[in-house]
């Protein structure tokens, strides 16, 4: 019975130590990237981060070339 009690205490101490390290760790893994909304290019349909896209007339474009084509009549 003493061996079971010893194993119980070892498991309990190990679990408490693991929980303590998990809760109070200074570097919790990889830093999370800031989420940026994605927008769809009105010309080709590719999704790009909004901060990288170009906007004209309420439409989003993935590049300057697609923005210029989108401005042309019948460019969509």
* Host domain of residue 57: 38-71
Task: Look at residue 8 and tell me if it is in a domain.
Answer: no
Task: Look at residue 52 and tell me if it is in a domain.
Answer: yes
Task: Look at residue 26 and tell me if it is in a domain.
Answer: no
pLDDT digits (tens), the chain, 76 positions: 789 999 999 999 999 999 998 888 776 566 666 788 999 999 999 999 999 999 998 999 999 999 998 877 765 5
Number of domains in the chain: 1
Q: And the tokens for 38? A: 């994605």
pTM of the model as a whole: 0.52
Task: Look at residue 25 and tell me if it is in a domain.
Answer: no
Task: Look at residue 13 and tell me if it is in a domain.
Answer: no
pLDDT at residue 32, as a whole number: 65
CA dihedral of residues 6, 10, 12, 18 (deg, nearest 10): 180
């Amino acid at each position: 019975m003493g061996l079971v009690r010893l194993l119980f205490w070892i498991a309990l101490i190990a679990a408490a130590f693991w929980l303590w390290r998990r809760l109070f760790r200074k570097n919790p893994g990889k830093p999370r990237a800031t989420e940026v909304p994605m927008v769809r290019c009105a010309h080709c349909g590719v999704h790009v981060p909004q901060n990288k896209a170009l906007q004209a007339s309420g439409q989003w474009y993935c590049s300057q070339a697609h923005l210029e084509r989108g401005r042309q009549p019948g460019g969509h």
